[in-house]
Amino acid sequence: MPIRPTQTSPARLQRWLERRKQVGSRIREIRTSQGLTQMSLALEAGLSRNMVIGIEWGEKSVAYERLWDIADVLGVNIQELLSDDSSRSSSEGHRPGSAKGSTKSKLSVDPEAR
């Protein structure tokens, strides 16, 4: 296990970059489908707009606690943020209070969904 940034292999760094871009792209896709601005997502999730921009473009790492905050604001299960195009469900995220959304976050995992 590397303890210094210089000990991390280029292949691992590339995988991390690809994963950040994948998650950021999903966040941007769900946010824009709901008509949310980067600023409104940032304010509701307790982030700066610059941080949201960096996350969406895969340039910023984000603490996993913040992923839950973002998922709550978007009204989706956190798994929706982590899924890639081939594995995600056809349902889009719904903000609480929207026509299809519920009034609470969907953070539980359905064991039979596997």
Total domains present in the chain: 1
Q: Which domain holds residue 45?
A: 11-83
| Tokens describing residue 70 | 């973002």
Residue 15, domain member (yes or no): yes
Instruction: For tokens 């966040």, name the residue.
Output: 27
Domain containing 56 — which CATH number? 1.10.260.40
If one counts every other C-beta atom within 10 angstroms of the C-beta of residue 96, the result is 14
How many other C-beta atoms are found inside a 10 Å radius of the C-beta of residue 70? 24
Per-residue pLDDT tens digits of the chain, which is 114 residues long: 556 767 888 898 899 999 999 999 999 999 999 999 999 999 999 999 999 999 999 999 889 899 999 999 999 999 999 887 644 444 444 455 443 343 333 333 444 443
Residue 113 lies in a domain: no
Residue at 58 is within a domain: yes
Residue 2: inside a domain = no
